[in-house]
Structure 1
Amino acid sequence: MVQPKKWLVLIHQIPPKPDALRVKIWRRLQQVGAVAIKQSVYVMPLTEQAREDLSWTLRQIVEGGGDGSISEARFVQGLSDEQILALFHNARKADYEKLIQEAGTLYAQWSSQESDPRDPAVKGPAQLSRLQRRLDDISAIDFFRTPERAAADLQLKALEKLLAGAPAADTDTVDGFADLKGKTWVTRGNLFVDRLACSWLIRRFVDGKAALKFVPDPEYLPQTNEIRFDMFDGEYTHQGDLCTFEVMIQRLQIRDHALGPLSEVVHDIDLKDEKFGRSETFGFNALLTGLVAEHPGDNERMNEGFRLFDNLYAYFNRQKRE
């Protein structure tokens, strides 16, 4: 039987006035990476650094007229270790996604003809340094290696290349996925276009030996070393009008000219909005529908589906060369 993890738990009580103390303590807990499991109850992993951070925070609370205590604890009923880990992942996921979005905006600006990151007026090095410092700060409190960390690293590496004046390659599959290798990728069962496409992308570009797991529960909580995609609150899922396949390509910074038209086909089949209207979409949808009818099991459907995506990818590759 796996022993429960041991945690540090801060329980505190702060006077309602002044408001400044409550805000100060809340910000301090955010800065050190603590997560709330109930009102005024915060958790951190059991490390010496965490013990020091919470001790200083408790001293500030007491000096401000409040009180509290720090305990070492194991959760054996009710709240599980997996649920606590999910709280830490979600907290850092939000931090990384905000950074990725800002870096992506900067990448789009620097890639355009209107902005040169090496122009002193643009202040490219200063902007990149600011983002790198933020990444370092987030990584320092990313105690359980949130999957979005790898995507943030790749985004900043792409900015470094632009700043150095390196030409953008037509196909860029930089081996920057070390943090994502050896993971188990989890998605909903009954595979169809978006989940098939994402599974294919993971195996082809991220980790050729990646384990894929299909679950019935759309609100499945990930276990250690698992990454969810195309499911509720997943690490990779729909954003705005983008399907999960498009989100993964952007977040992982995979630059391959054949993935552009391929993602448009997946988008129109998945979202049914005819946004791109490619001529290949109707036929590929028919093939996938036949695949589902012929192979009710997800593993067989995945294996056959990968062949379809390999063929469509090869087709778009050939189109580009011609």
Structure 2
Amino acid sequence: MNNWLTLILGLPTAHATERMRAWRALKTCGAAVLRDGAYLLPDIPACREALAAIERDILAIHGTAYVLPVVDPDGARFIDLFERSEDYARLRSEIEECRGQLTAQNALASTRQIRKLRKAYEQLSTIDYFPGQPRQQADAALQELETAVSRALSTDEPRSQDLPIPRLDPSDYQGRIWATRQRPWVDRLACAWLIRRFIDPQARILWLEHPRDCPADALGFDFDAATFSHVGNRVSFETLQASFALQAPGLSRIAALVHYLDIGGVQPVEAAGVERVLAGLRETLTHDDQLLAAASALFDGLLAGFAQEEPAHD
């Protein structure tokens, strides 16, 4: 980085609120302090826009503001001013504290704290102009925490097996009873939606207190020894999708979303929002049929949105 921008400003003492707003804006965009009234940022589009907006606001209250280019021949003189290691260390400490306190009983309540931690990470990474290992470590710790919460919300997760997935004909699976564990979370909710939407529209979903209660004539899903469950690296949703060769536009993105929220991996951009909505529904709707109906509306909306965007992902 050879090119930088500096903001030299003078703020009228009579405008305390505007002075505070300017300082807050400089902090939000991660400006480094060179000295009182002199701030530095990398010369990139986002920083140019931020400084231009601050300059306009200062001039509007009759202050003085100059945005000036700075060239550093060595290219590294100012980089240490933007070191974020301590900020990431504090964030990781909060993440680890949340992880240490996580139980199946408080998992749902913990999703609120995790959303705050994710927001804090995103705000910090936005102003981390020279990212390195601390950012990677914080992101990894946060992803592990998010995965741990999803697992805590879905106890007795099935073990994965390495089995072939036979190709099945949906016409052979009409009007059936499909059974899974009660108080469903992401994978089970998505599976039940997938079954009714693409496989068996008249499916009756049976919520089991324990997998051993599954009737002999029911098609079990997402528990050990179920007809459809985790296979290899596939979650139950992906197993159903592969079994019936379902390839509707947008469906692969829902599969990626369910995969991440169930067992982790690459995080889709929609993951945090979808998890937040599902957690809220699970907290407010105590009847599993009502929860499925609400979750199905969410998955319908996601599918429609993803299908519209599909050409951009070809």
The alignment's TM-score, normalised by the length of structure 2, stands at: 0.46
If you compute each CA radius of gyration, which structure gives the higher value, 1 or 2?
A: 2
The alignment's TM-score, normalised by the length of structure 1, stands at: 0.45
